Amino acid sequence: MYSKYQTMFHRVPKWSLLVFAVVLPAVTGIIFDLPRVVLGTTFLFVAASFASNPIVDFFHRLKIIPNQVTLSGLLFSIASALLFAGGHVAEGGFACWLTGLLDLWDGLLARKHNLTTKFGGFLDSVLDRIADGFIFSGIAFHMFMTGSPVGGGLALYGLVTALVVSYSRAKAETQIRLCEVGFLGGRPERIFLLCYFGLIGHLQFGLGLICLFQTVTIIRRIVFTYRALSDEDADSVHRFEPVSKSRSETEGSSVEFARVEKAIQEE
């Protein structure tokens, strides 16, 4: 899911990314009067994001495998959920940020050091969904307990739509070749918004943006899939229709599984 951002960032001058990464936290800290420890920790996480390649090389030297990094991300998502639920929003945001970094590093470690496995991709996809569930549930609990039913409702809606964002692409790609349309509704965007608006104390506004982006992403994928299927002729629409029943069941299920697996991993 992060590979498309890596490709995009390679096309942008590194100095401009560095300036943005430094200026955004600094300006945010001044405007919202963030404590120094929060601002310092933010810069530390930004530095870790830019040092991803040396970090995964270090993991490799320690014989750490991608699945271990993936499991660590799940543990930090649980910690994030507990911190959010306990009212420690800034700390929950940092733990959520670390979850996102580990989600970035497991894939980078696998690709860079030729450690990619089908099970690893499957495990990453499943644990990402569980991690989202923990984080949004923790936020919802915090919102309801602090007398903010709107915020709690947004967190629950964000959880549901986060799952549907992934599922809509996976299901669409069992019928059409690709369904990569969206509108800032992927996991990297929601992690960033939760972290950023959690740190500046406007978590409910961040939840609103997440819900908006994910809803638009789902609608765009529904419309895109409808149009793609409408434009296909009868042969392409029924390309999984069997020559014989047993052959169809074998080939159709394997093709569908491969497409679903790929779509969920990249979401």
- Catalytic residues, by residue number, are 128
Beta carbons of 53 and 108 less than 8 angstroms apart: yes
Write out the two tokens for 167. Answer: 């599922």
- In one-letter notation, the amino acid at residue 219 is I
Would you state the structure tokens that stand for residue 31, as one six-digit string?
């405007």
Lookup result for tokens 């200026």: 23
Report the candidate in 172, 162, 185, 181 with the shortest Cα–Cα distance to residue 259. Answer: 172
Query: What letters, b where the CB count within 10 A reaches 16 and e where it falls short, cover 39-73?
Result: bebbeebbebbeebeebbeebeeeebbbbebbebb
- CB-based contacts of 232: which residues, under 8 Å, 6+ apart? 176
Distance of CA 255 to the CA centre of its chain: 25
Report H helices in 33-65: 36-50, 52-61
CA dihedral 72, 73, 77, 78 (to 10 degrees): -20
DSSP conformational letter for 221: H
Structure tokens at 133: 């569930």
